[in-house]
Amino acid sequence: MGFGAIDAKAVAPGQAKRVEVHVKHSWKNILLFLQAVVIVLLVWALAWLGRDEFQKEHAIEEKTVVAEERLAEDEGVQLDEAAQKQSGIRVETLKPANYHATESFSGVVVDPRSLLEAQQRWDAIKRQITSAEVLIQQRTQEFNRTQGLYDHGRNAAAKDVEAAKSALMQAQQQASGLDAELRAVIDSVRLQWGDAVALGFENRPSWVQKWMQRQIDLIQFALPAGVKSKKQTWLVESNPMAASGGLSASVVGRATQALPGLVGENWLLSTAPTGLPVGATVRVHSKVGSSEKGVSVPFEAVVRYAGKNWVYVQTEPDRFERQSVAVDKPMTDGFFSDAFDTDDRLVVRGAQLLLSEEFRFQIKNENKD
């Protein structure tokens, strides 16, 4: 038997059991220790990797902040005349412009068919009234003749007078009924279109005739609560791409019935033909306040970078400086601005190329540093 060996026969049964339990506890403690070591190593590894990611993100944020600070400064590009010609750079002075603030509302081209139907009923009743008036004249003459004969005792009995009188009253009642029908037509127009159209329908001014013949268009639009209807100038924009900026329009009056989708106080405008079908949506603009004086910055002169809008101004024959520009006041041919003068020379073709050249040069200098 070797040194330290345990003779199984020499160990008592109770003692052998205690040895077995001790060995099991030892292995359990070893496993718990190894698990703790693994957890510590994992936590350390995650902390190390997280530090690297934080350093990378922090470095990116610093670069972004530096780039934004650089954009806030006046930057420029040096380009000789030969390079400008080769690159197709074109420079123009700015045109003077007046800007008038506008409010915009949604409108609809109104269908005149119901008014045409009312006109047909009106015309038919008017013809009947004309006939009734002629009949009243005839029966009035007949009654007067019969009454005269009766008064002078000539070939006219009392029953003849009563018959002539009854015929006259019948014609008068017929005319009164026709007048009531005519008023009903006007009331129907007033209920649907409002007082202004009803009055125009009854008196037949030229604009009503032109509208029913589609020589002009009627536009119904809605004003939000609190907005006044009496504005200085109204424009109807039927084509956003048109250079005119809109068709001049005039207020007709209140609309008594709101159209679907037009929330607010409904009004009617008359304007030149829009060329759009009835029911088409248009934009109604109202000029408010006084006009501002400035210049028009062409659309093609503006480039966008880092969430901002820029233009390049030629300050020297071979130098172009980048300047920020506001684009919150669009016009038909560009953006209104009061930050430039008419003698400023802006790049209207090749601005994007100058922007690329400017930042390519900056990156090159940063690499040298």
Number of domains within the chain: 4
260 lies in a domain? yes
Which range marks the domain in which residue 51 is found?
20-71
Say yes or no: 274 and 354 in one domain. no
Among 118, 113, 110, 115, residue whose Cα is nearest residue 249: 110
Name the helix (H) or strand (E) containing 297.
strand 292-298
Number of residues written out for the chain? 369
Determine the pLDDT at residue 224.
Answer: 74
Say yes or no: 320 and 302 in one domain. yes
362 lies in a domain? yes
Say yes or no: 106 and 236 in one domain. yes
Say yes or no: 197 and 129 in one domain. yes
- Looking at residue 102, its amino acid is T
211 lies in a domain? no
10 lies in a domain? no
Say yes or no: 193 and 236 in one domain. no
Q: Residue 233 to residues 54, 221, 230, 318, 319: CA-CA distances in angstroms? A: 59, 15, 9, 46, 44
Among 135, 316, 322, 109, residue whose Cα is nearest residue 221: 109
82 lies in a domain? yes
Determine the pLDDT at residue 11.
Answer: 45
**What are the pLDDT tens digits along the chain (369 aa)?**
444 444 444 444 555 444 454 545 566 677 777 777 778 777 676 666 655 554 554 444 433 333 333 343 456 788 888 888 898 999 999 999 988 777 788 889 988 888 888 888 988 999 999 999 999 999 999 999 999 888 887 788 889 889 999 999 999 999 999 999 999 998 998 888 888 888 877 776 677 778 878 888 989 988 876 666 555 678 888 765 454 567 888 888 888 887 777 777 888 888 998 889 988 989 888 876 677 899 999 999 999 988 999 999 999 999 999 999 999 888 878 899 999 999 999 999 999 989 888 877 665 544 454
Say yes or no: 319 and 305 in one domain. yes
The residue from 171, 202, 233 where one domain ends is: 202
Determine the pLDDT at residue 151.
Answer: 85
The residue from 252, 272, 287 where one domain ends is: 287
Q: Residue 139 to residues 134, 145, 251, 323: CA-CA distances in angstroms? A: 9, 10, 48, 90
Say yes or no: 195 and 136 in one domain. yes
Q: Are 89 and 349 in contact (CB under 8 A)?
A: yes
φ, ψ of residue 251 in degrees (nearest 5): -75, 130
The residue from 230, 252, 287 where one domain ends is: 287
11 lies in a domain? no
Name the helix (H) or strand (E) containing 250.
strand 247-254
Beta-carbon neighbour count of residue 303 at 10 Å? 20
79 lies in a domain? yes
Say yes or no: 136 and 85 in one domain. no
Say yes or no: 143 and 89 in one domain. no
Beta-carbon neighbour count of residue 201 at 10 Å? 20
Say yes or no: 277 and 221 in one domain. yes
3 lies in a domain? no
Determine the pLDDT at residue 48.
Answer: 62
Q: Are 350 and 90 in contact (CB under 8 A)?
A: yes
Q: What is the CATH number of the domain that holds 279?
A: 2.40.30
Q: Residue 173 to residues 133, 164, 178: CA-CA distances in angstroms? A: 11, 14, 9
Say yes or no: 239 and 106 in one domain. yes
Determine the pLDDT at residue 19.
Answer: 45
Q: 283: exposed, middle or buried (C-beta count within 10 Å: 0-12, 13-18, 19+)?
A: middle
Determine the pLDDT at residue 210.
Answer: 83
Say yes or no: 275 and 343 in one domain. no
Determine the pLDDT at residue 247.
Answer: 85
